[in-house]
Amino acid sequence: MKQTTLILVKPDGVRRGLVGQILARIEAKGYTIEDVRMLTATEQQLAAHYRELVDKPFYPGIVEYMTSGPIIAALVSGHRVIEGVRSLSGATDPTTAAPGTIRGDFACDTGTDSIENLIHSSDSVQSAEHETSVWF
């Protein structure tokens, strides 16, 4: 079941110089980086990407966070890669994300309106297709 997933290294990851370490973990696991680009997210792209969250109270915080600097978008392929990269990323909340995961090892809740957790990865085949069309 070869799949492709969409990942974003969020602005905190770029700002803190963690792009290499995050991509290295994904490559070390055995997945293949198929494409990478750096960009600054627009509000339109974020509304499409986070279409299920636009009505949430924390959505304005997401926009502020995600437009605070450049991000890296990458396409990553492999057998069951969607599940695999979610597992490497760890839980949404950095405080409880397991040590050994990207969020567990590198992210720390600083009390901002939006959770800053370094990485996004698609959660289903449908999301991966939609999110790929947003960023590539």
Active site residue 49: no
Nearer to ligand TYD, 42 or 92 (CB): 92
Tell me whether residue 92 is annotated as binding: yes
* Residues contributing to the site for ligand TYD (CB under 6 A): 53, 58, 61-62, 92, 114-115, 117, 120, 123
86 known member of a binding site: yes
Q: Which residue's CB is nearer to ligand TYD, number 58 or number 136?
A: 58
Q: Is 103 annotated as belonging to a binding site?
A: yes
**Of 89, 116, 100, whose CA–CA distance to 7 is shortest?**
89
CB 63, min distance to ligand TYD, A: 11
Please name the amino acid found at residue 45: Q
Query: For residues 32 and 92, which CB has a smaller minimum distance to ligand TYD in the complex?
Result: 92
* Least separation in angstroms between CB 3 and ligand TYD: 16
Active site (catalytic) residues:
120
